[in-house]
Structure 1
Amino acid sequence: MPNSIAEIKELLNNRIGQQVVVKVQAGRKRVKTLHGTLSKTYPAIFIVHLDGDGDDLQRVSYTYADLLTHNVSLAFE
């Protein structure tokens, strides 16, 4: 991932609509993996619509700072 929030925003703006795998630090030594589509970007956050996997969550949002601090990681398919 890029090294600044501006670079992260630009990268994600160019990837809207693509499939993505999101890995989130869910606590001590726990990582949650989600699959979905990058749907929208806003000035401070981005939104991922999740694939139907039976959970009640249909979409999640994260800040660009989450990517910068490695609390969240994205991998495009």
Structure 2
Amino acid sequence: MKGKEILSAIKKDIDEHVGEKVLLKANSGRRKVMVREGILEKTYPNIFVIRVEGNDRTSRTISYSYSDILTQTVQLVFKNNNVAI
């Protein structure tokens, strides 16, 4: 049961920052790291969604699970107050 408590605490922390600008660092595998700036759009019970701007001014949404943060596959740094999750 300890794992569910940790994931719910991560979700609670992310819920407080919905609508804020975020710096996203995601490990894409094979030494590839994606670094993008976006906006935390919405949180759901098992995932959260970030909208990022592309190179040609198109936007796309990317979703990650809270376990990605737990395993450090994804790191979030919120721009407004430099909080890292």
TM > 0.5 fold call? yes
- DSSP-derived class of the 1:33 partner: strand
Q: Which sections of structure 1, spanning at least 5 residues, go unmatched?
A: none
Q: TM-score, normalised by structure 2?
A: 0.79
Q: CA RMSD in A?
A: 1.8
Q: Which sections of structure 2, spanning at least 5 residues, go unmatched?
A: 80-85
Larger radius of gyration: 2
Task: Determine whether 1:12 maps to 2:20.
Answer: no
Identity, in percent, stands at 35
Cα separation, 1, equivalents of 2:55 and 2:78: 19
Q: Which has the higher contact order (CA 8 A, sep 6+)?
A: 1
Task: Determine whether 1:40 maps to 2:68.
Answer: no
Q: TM-score, normalised by structure 1?
A: 0.87
Equivalent residue pairs, number: 75
Runs (4+) off by over 6 Å: none
Q: Is this contact kept in 1: 2:53–2:59, CA < 8 A?
A: no
